Amino acid sequence: MLKCQHLVEKADALVDGSPISLRERLALRLHLMMCHHCRRYVRQLRALLGFLPRDKQPLEEAAIEDILKKLDTPQDQP
């Protein structure tokens, strides 16, 4: 049977939807059915990813204007 350490190494694909072979997915699912430590690991890994700061605020108008202005001025050569 799949070892817990192996599951932890492969579980990333389960939480972020990366491609994974059907055979591997089944092996992971089977392990999870039988191992509550690994179930907890996967559940909390999901929670962790949900906790990461994600939404970047749009820039304010004045700052946008500053950037656009610099596009028009010729750049100093390095």
Residue pair 63/70 in contact by the 8 Å Cβ criterion: no
53 binds another protein, rule: CB under 8 A: yes
**48 makes contact with another protein (CB under 8 A):** yes
- CA dist 62 and 68 (Å) reads 10
Per CB under 8 A, does 77 bind another protein? no
Element (H, E) at 8: helix 4-10
The letter for the amino acid at 55 is D
Q: Which is nearer to another protein, 5 or 21 (CB)?
A: 5
Residues of this chain that interact with another protein (CB under 8 A) are 3-6, 8-9, 12, 16, 18, 37-38, 40-41, 44-45, 47-49, 51-54, 56-59, 61, 63-65, 67-68, 70-71, 75
